[in-house]
């Protein structure tokens, strides 16, 4: 057993060691946050890792495009290796090869700064979400992106196995995502690391480990071990790109700064998951100083579960006569670039690959000193798109995360009428209720009186309204959806079509008609600016996912005196109809609709024998319909047959009854 080096914040460590020994690491609360303003939805946590090892079907792990069900990352995490004053080598990891989330937590070597704990008694280091979008609920003047998530964690604890030796590092992870179309295909992970021990470290290496895997969760289900078709981890193609002159093959022409790993599914998951994923080293605040002739960056790949067991050289306990095996530190510092076919491994074959990119050494890391590194998780429709998007992420880093943009998307409110969707939003203003000018960053300005941060001038020009019929967005939403309306203010620029009319409440209002009740539709209203010829700026458009919402058209609620009665459609219901989001024998994704409902009511479904099957509650002043997924209150599939329903108006007490037929 290895022992913790001393001294190392001895009072704090004593408290933390006791806490670690009292409870398993895997029981520690985790804060899952995910990016959702661009096209790439990445799960990030307060425990040193990203992704969720396919443990939560309600959250993206690394979904691209967002709402497409195409996943790209199982799990990933920070690695830090260093030499301590006694000459020993140690590595702290946010994630390693593991079969599931619980198994990964057993070997995870970072934990969070919990509010109220000895590490963070004031809550300074608690998880926060910010936005530089002025009309966002999370607007913060210090935000660097449309979505800016702060997580804090450190490695000062002992695993129950007793095998981890802490280096003494506190980490601030800033996760940055943008909604604007030219920067919505990547998420930046910006790490600030502080040596909070009282000892200097040397020969430091920084890295990012990632278990990428690509597939469509609708086609191969990673969440259900009993699924007819399980997730295929063994059909992914991996590789890496490096600068010309630094790597013998796989250089990216014209991209002299690239150090990037990538992966894609070998057959595109039967055409349902053809996108590529990668992670790119954007930079560090210090320059690595390798020996002459050695690369400053290493890219190592291996088949899953072939990760070294220890931090430093070791002998396998089951084979004491074997040759010494390299440890995690040697993996980070070997200068390899694992592409192509070698004598040992054929990296060109499909497989279940895991990889790490690491950089170093950084000769000296003083106690109390700070190091920084930034990575981009990048997605693209193909290899060229992936490279193009990664170059934009590099430009964002090189420019201090200053990405120019235009006015934000409006905050939408939806209402419904028969076969119609009604969208409403506030236009914004330039003065407050007292007639005084609003501050430039006031959310009350957005979107129509937005002030550009690049020019300090108003930059709003108009709106575009996008619609897509379907449950999932399988590709770039701008190419998939239909532009159903475009508005621009009358000022001699553009079409001069005018802006949407204001209703009696002073809100912009757009009505989309001739829709199919009960069918899924995605809507987004984006804002755009006019080109600024003086400043040399192009038109900027806000992001699709800033306000994209999935709605199901249907009638408005029944009001007193309205002759409409409660009904159900389709009735009879037939499995695998067009109302299913999934066909075949899948029980999830089925849906029928109760319609003609009052604004507030309860819906009970019974068998003909009088057994209660399900109770639903409807509370929506804008809609007169409610879906049912054909599952019981115990989340079990119902059988074919005749059922009775009763709808009670919560305001009047009136009860209406009816029958429905299920045919599977």
Inside any domain, residue 105: yes
Is residue 655 located within the same domain as residue 526? no
Q: What is the mean pLDDT of residues 327-334?
A: 97
Is residue 578 located within the same domain as residue 501? no
Helix (H), strand (E), coil (C) string for 182-209:
HHCCEEEEEEEEEECCCCCEEEEEEEEE
Inside any domain, residue 533: yes
pLDDT > 50? residue 65: yes
Q: What is the mean pLDDT of residues 552-576?
A: 87
Q: What is the mean pLDDT of residues 63-72?
A: 96
Is residue 227 located within the same domain as residue 341? yes
pLDDT tens across 588-634, in order? 457 899 999 999 999 999 999 999 999 999 999 989 999 998 988 88
Q: What's the CATH number where 433 sits?
A: 2.60.40
Is residue 490 located within the same domain as residue 601? no
Is residue 524 located within the same domain as residue 632? no
* Cα–Cα distance measured from residue 172 to residue 459, given in angstroms and rounded to the nearest whole number: 34
Could you tell me which residue, 582 or 633, shows the higher pLDDT?
633
Q: What is the pLDDT of residue 586?
A: 47
Is residue 97 located within the same domain as residue 48? yes
Q: Which residues, listed in sequence order, are joined to residue 323 by a DSSP beta bridge?
A: none
Torsions phi, psi for 168 (to 5 deg): 95, 65
pLDDT > 90? residue 485: yes
pLDDT > 90? residue 150: yes
Q: What is the mean pLDDT of residues 39-54?
A: 96
Handedness of CA 436, 438, 443, 446 (dihedral sign): positive
Do residues 213 and 73 lie in contact, with contact meaning Cβ atoms separated by under 8 Å?
Answer: yes
Inside any domain, residue 363: yes
pLDDT > 80? residue 540: yes
pLDDT > 90? residue 163: no
Q: What is the mean pLDDT of residues 454-466?
A: 94
pLDDT > 60? residue 392: yes
Is residue 177 located within the same domain as residue 42? yes
Q: What is the mean pLDDT of residues 573-588?
A: 55
pLDDT band at 574, cuts 50/70/90?
confident
Q: What's the CATH number where 648 sits?
A: 2.60.40.1930
Is residue 223 located within the same domain as residue 340? yes
pLDDT tens across 241-268, in order? 999 989 988 888 889 899 999 999 999 9
Task: Give how far Cα 528 sits from Cα of 184, 276, 487, Å.
Answer: 16, 29, 10
pLDDT band at 1, cuts 50/70/90?
very low
Q: What is the pLDDT of residue 96?
A: 96
Of 106-115, 293-302, 336-345, the range with the lowest mean pLDDT is: 106-115
Q: What is the pLDDT of residue 249?
A: 84
pLDDT band at 560, cuts 50/70/90?
confident
pLDDT band at 124, cuts 50/70/90?
confident
Q: What is the pLDDT of residue 22?
A: 34
CA 139 to chain centre: 19
pLDDT band at 119, cuts 50/70/90?
low
pLDDT band at 425, cuts 50/70/90?
very high
> Which of residues 551, 579, 597 is at a domain's end?
551
12: Cβ contacts below 8 Å, ≥ 6 apart: 118, 119, 156
Its pTM stands at 0.88
Torsions phi, psi for 160 (to 5 deg): -60, -30
Q: What is the pLDDT of residue 317?
A: 82
Is residue 520 located within the same domain as residue 427? yes
Inside any domain, residue 176: yes
pLDDT band at 16, cuts 50/70/90?
very low
Q: What is the pLDDT of residue 160?
A: 52
pLDDT band at 52, cuts 50/70/90?
very high
* Cα–Cα distance measured from residue 50 to residue 94, given in angstroms and rounded to the nearest whole number: 9
Q: What is the pLDDT of residue 118?
A: 65
Inside any domain, residue 556: no
- What percent of the chain has a predicted confidence (pLDDT) above 70? 92
What integer best gives the mean pLDDT of the chain?
Answer: 89
CA 459 to chain centre: 29
Do residues 20 and 163 lie in contact, with contact meaning Cβ atoms separated by under 8 Å?
Answer: no
Inside any domain, residue 239: yes
Q: How would you classify the pairing of strands 62-63 and 521-529? A: unpaired
How many CB atoms neighbour CB 188 within 10 A? 25
Of 6-20, 83-97, 543-557, the range with the lowest mean pLDDT is: 6-20
Is residue 457 located within the same domain as residue 482? yes
Q: What is the pLDDT of residue 583?
A: 43
- What percent of the chain has a predicted confidence (pLDDT) above 90? 71
Domain range for residue 651? Answer: 567-663
pLDDT > 80? residue 198: yes
Is residue 538 located within the same domain as residue 610? no
> Which of residues 520, 551, 582 is at a domain's end?
551
Inside any domain, residue 596: yes
| 514: alpha, beta or left? (left if phi > 0; alpha if psi -120 to 50) | left
Of 20-29, 278-287, 324-333, 423-432, the range with the lowest mean pLDDT is: 20-29
pLDDT band at 577, cuts 50/70/90?
low
pLDDT > 90? residue 327: yes
pLDDT > 70? residue 8: no
Q: What is the pLDDT of residue 2?
A: 34
Do residues 215 and 233 lie in contact, with contact meaning Cβ atoms separated by under 8 Å?
Answer: no
Is residue 364 located within the same domain as residue 465? no
DSSP state string for 433-473: TTSPBPPTT-GGGTTTT-B-TTTSSB-EEEEEEEEEESSS-
Inside any domain, residue 38: yes
In the chain, the number of structural domains is: 3
Could you tell me which residue, 534 or 595, shows the higher pLDDT?
595
pLDDT band at 399, cuts 50/70/90?
very high
């Amino acid at each position: 057993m290895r022992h913790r080096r001393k001294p190392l914040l001895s009072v704090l460590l004593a408290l933390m060691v006791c806490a670690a020994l009292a409870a398993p690491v895997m029981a520690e609360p985790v804060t899952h946050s995910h990016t959702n303003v661009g096209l790439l939805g990445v799960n990030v946590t307060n425990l040193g890792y990203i992704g969720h090892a396919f443990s939560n079907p309600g959250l993206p792990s690394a979904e691209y495009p967002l709402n497409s069900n195409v996943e790209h990352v199982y799990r990933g995490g920070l690695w830090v290796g260093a030499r301590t004053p006694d000459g020993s080598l140690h590595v702290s990891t946010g994630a390693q090869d593991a079969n599931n989330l619980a198994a990964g937590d057993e070997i995870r070597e970072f934990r969070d700064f919990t509010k109220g704990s000895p590490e963070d008694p004031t809550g300074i280091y608690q998880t926060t979400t910010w936005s530089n979008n002025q009309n966002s609920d999370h607007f913060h003047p210090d935000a660097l992106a449309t979505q800016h998530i702060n997580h804090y964690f450190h490695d000062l604890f002992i695993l129950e196995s007793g095998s981890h030796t802490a280096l003494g590092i506190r980490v601030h992870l800033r996760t940055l995502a943008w909604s604007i179309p030219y920067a919505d295909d990547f998420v930046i992970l910006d790490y600030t690391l502080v040596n909070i021990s009282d000892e200097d470290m040397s020969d430091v290496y920084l890295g990012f480990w990632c278990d990428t895997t690509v597939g469509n969760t609708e086609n191969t289900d990673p969440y259900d071990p009993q699924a007819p078709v399980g997730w295929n981890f063994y059909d992914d193609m991996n590789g890496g790109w490096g600068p010309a002159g630094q790597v013998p093959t796989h250089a990216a022409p014209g991209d002299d700064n690239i150090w990037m790993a990538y992966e894609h599914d070998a057959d595109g998951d039967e055409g349902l998951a053809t996108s590529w994923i990668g992670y790119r080293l954007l930079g560090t605040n210090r320059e690595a100083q390798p020996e002459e002739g050695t690369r400053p960056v290493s890219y190592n790949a291996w088949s899953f579960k072939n990760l070294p067991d220890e931090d430093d050289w070791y002998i396998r306990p089951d084979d004491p006569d074997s040759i010494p095996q390299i440890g995690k530190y040697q993996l980070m510092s070997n200068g390899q670039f694992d592409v192509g076919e070698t004598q040992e491994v054929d990296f060109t074959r499909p497989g279940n690959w895991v990889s790490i990119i690491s950089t170093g050494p950084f000769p000296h890391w003083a106690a109390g000193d700070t190091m920084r590194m930034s990575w981009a998780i990048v997605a693209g429709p193909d290899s060229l798109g992936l490279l193009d998007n990664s170059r934009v992420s590099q430009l964002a880093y090189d420019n201090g995360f200053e990405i120019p943009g235009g006015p934000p998307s409006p905050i939408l409110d939806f209402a419904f009428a028969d076969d119609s969707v009604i969208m409403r939003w506030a236009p914004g203003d330039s003065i407050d209720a007292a007639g005084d000018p609003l501050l430039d960053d006031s959310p009350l300005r957005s979107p129509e009186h937005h002030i550009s941060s690049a020019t300090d001038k108003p930059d709003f020009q108009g709106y575009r309204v996008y619609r897509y019929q379907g449950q999932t967005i399988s590709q770039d939403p701008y190419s998939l959806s239909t532009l159903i309306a475009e508005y621009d203010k009358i000022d001699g620029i553009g079409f001069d079509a005018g802006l949407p009319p204001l209703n009696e409440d002073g809100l912009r209002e757009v009505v989309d008609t001739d829709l199919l009740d009960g069918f899924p539709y995605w809507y987004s209203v984006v804002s755009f600016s006019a080109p600024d010829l003086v400043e040399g700026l192009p038109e900027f458009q806000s992001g699709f996912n800033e306000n994209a919402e999935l709605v199901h058209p249907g009638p408005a609620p029944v009001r007193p005196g309205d002759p409409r009665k409660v009904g159900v459609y389709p009735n009879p219901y037939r499995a695998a109809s067009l109302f299913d989001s999934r066909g075949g024998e899948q029980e999830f994704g089925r849906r029928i609709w109760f319609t003609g409902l009052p604004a507030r009511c309860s819906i009970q479904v019974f068998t003909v024998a009088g057994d209660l099957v399900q109770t639903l509650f409807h509370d929506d002043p804008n809609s007169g319909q409610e879906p049912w997924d054909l599952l019981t209150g115990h989340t079990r599939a119902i059988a074919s047959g005749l059922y009775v329903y009763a709808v009670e108006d919560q305001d009047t007490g009136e009860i209406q009854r009816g029958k429905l037929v299920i045919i599977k």
